[in-house]
Amino acid sequence: MMDRMPQELLLLIGKHIQGSSDSQNTLYSLTLCCRHFHDVFQPMIYHSLSISSFSVGFARLIMRLWRRPDLASQVRRLEMCWSDCSDCDQDSADKLSEDPEVVRFIEEALNEIFTPEEEDTRSIWEQHLDTEFLCAEAWLGLLLVRANQLQTIEFGHEHSELMSNILHKAANRQYPFHRAPPFPYLEEVQACVAWGAAWIDSGFLTPFFYFPAIRTIYGSAIGERRDDENMTLDKSYISSPVREIIVDEAYWCRGMLDWLMVCTKLEHVSINIEVQADEYEISDHEKFDASLFRTMLLPSAKTLKTLRVCYGEWYRDKLEEHDADDAPFGTFRDFVVMEDISVRHSHLIGRISPDSTDHWDTKPLVDILPFTLQRFEIIDLMESHQLQLLSQLSELVRRGCCQNLERVEFHLDLEDSDAPIDALNSLKLECDARGIDLEVKAQEDS
């Protein structure tokens, strides 16, 4: 009876089960019912793997997938999380150490990943794969080598050395990734810190820009401070297919320039710049440079539709505390399909500290905003320039320079007796006449 059930019906049942909390166990039980069920449901078991707390069971799963490439190729979504290998479950490690098959497997896997010329690196991997430690990062690195049909991957970790090694080998098309483009179907990557006040080095995500199908890079708590000369990538020959970059809490942020350097087809960029919890000041080489950031975006001038650059609360406080300059982006006219801009007020006109010798020749909004603009948000209004901004916005709307403009949004301290209410009312009238949605939020809610 079960052998006669239509495959289409079983597939629908399987998709419904995949949305449940205990999907893998349920699917595994179904594979034991009959041969027909086994053939239909077994690929679904491996479709989505989530490994957040490493154990002997996961080590044996990785061994199985390594030796069964047909099963490893079924993995489409992979979530991996690891901490320092010193935090391993010692009882679990002891169980593996008693199994000679595990020792043979480690030797077999490392022979496939490393060449004889990479003996030093291989030795480091051997130490971490030693069953005395049960290093989750090392075992998960082995899994990544085999899971070559991934579509989505999500990382959560504190520190990476071994995984970065695998990713840089893949990006540089080094053995064992030399025969074909690595991860040919991988479209989306997420990297988020799993615990505490840690951060992920931007270099960890850089290799993904070199894979052929990648479209979205998302990161949270990403830092740009570290520069590892041993993990450099050749940027001269690549045009990355990445379309979207989103970074929440970018630390020591230069603007992810290494990423932008290889991108020519970006459509959406959003970066929230913040300081790390224990950071006390912002040095010049760590400070965001809006003008340079804009220059690095120019290769995507014909594709970029959305740009959002904002500062976190702590970063803004540090800038004000040190009276730091804040240079403007410059003109956006080169971006011929730009529809949505959300930037700080100072990144439009510049902010200069009292003792600075710099001077920026900024132009009015009508001369710097793209004609294709539809939505425009101004963040962190500078009190001394509010009237000037409202006047420029009124001129922009009145002249119809951005014919597709639908929405203008900013924050204003309406309780301040010096707030330019008359200029704001004038702007509202101009927007109403043009059918533009104007939203003014209270500054204290920003």
* Residues linked to residue 244 through DSSP beta bridges, in sequence order: 216, 268
- Phi, psi angles (nearest 5°) of residue 326: -140, 95
Q: What is the pTM of this model?
A: 0.88
Which 8-state DSSP code applies to residue 30? H
| DSSP three-state, residue 105 | helix
Distance of CA 444 to CAs 97, 412, 415, Å? Answer: 59, 8, 10
Give residue for tokens 């009276």: 323
Whether residue 90 has pLDDT greater than 90: no
Is residue 71 a contact partner of residue 47, using CB atoms and an 8 Å limit?
no
C-alpha span between 15 and 12 (Å, rounded): 5
Helix, strand, coil abundance in the chain, percent, nearest 5: 45, 15, 40
- Phi, psi angles (nearest 5°) of residue 217: -120, 120
For residue 146, what pLDDT is reported? 94
Distance of CA 38 to CAs 14, 31, 42, 61, 400, Å? Answer: 12, 4, 6, 18, 64
C-alpha span between 208 and 190 (Å, rounded): 11
Whether residue 55 has pLDDT greater than 50: yes
| DSSP three-state, residue 250 | strand
For residue 11, what pLDDT is reported? 60
pLDDT in tens, 101-130: 888 999 999 999 999 999 999 999 998 887
C-alpha span between 305 and 210 (Å, rounded): 22
Please state the domain extents for the chain. Answer: 1-45, 48-186
Structure tokens at 182: 């690595």
Q: Containing H/E element for 167?
A: helix 162-171
Structure tokens at 54: 């490493």
Whether residue 380 has pLDDT greater than 80: yes
Give the length of the chain. Answer: 446
pLDDT in tens, 160-194: 889 999 999 999 999 999 999 999 999 999 999 87
Ramachandran region, residue 192 (left: φ > 0; alpha: ψ -120 to 50; beta: rest): beta
Whether residue 417 has pLDDT greater than 80: no
Structure tokens at 204: 């960890």
Residue 104, exposed/middle/buried by CB under 10 A (0-12, 13-18, 19+)? exposed
Whether residue 86 has pLDDT greater than 60: no
Whether residue 446 has pLDDT greater than 70: no
Which residue from 40, 72, 53 is spatially nearest to 143, judged by alpha carbons? 72
Whether residue 66 has pLDDT greater than 50: yes
pLDDT in tens, 262-303: 999 999 999 999 988 676 666 666 778 999 999 999 999 999
pLDDT in tens, 306-359: 999 999 988 888 777 665 567 899 999 999 999 999 999 999 987 654 455 455
- Phi, psi angles (nearest 5°) of residue 51: -120, 95
Is residue 257 a contact partner of residue 286, using CB atoms and an 8 Å limit?
no
For residue 82, what pLDDT is reported? 87
For residue 7, what pLDDT is reported? 65
For residue 426, what pLDDT is reported? 93
- Phi, psi angles (nearest 5°) of residue 410: -160, 170
Cβ atoms within 10 A of the Cβ of 237, count? 7
Amino acid identity, residue 432? D
Cβ atoms within 10 A of the Cβ of 320, count? 11
C-alpha span between 224 and 245 (Å, rounded): 15
C-alpha span between 326 and 334 (Å, rounded): 22
Whether residue 83 has pLDDT greater than 90: no
Mean of the per-residue pLDDT values of the chain: 84
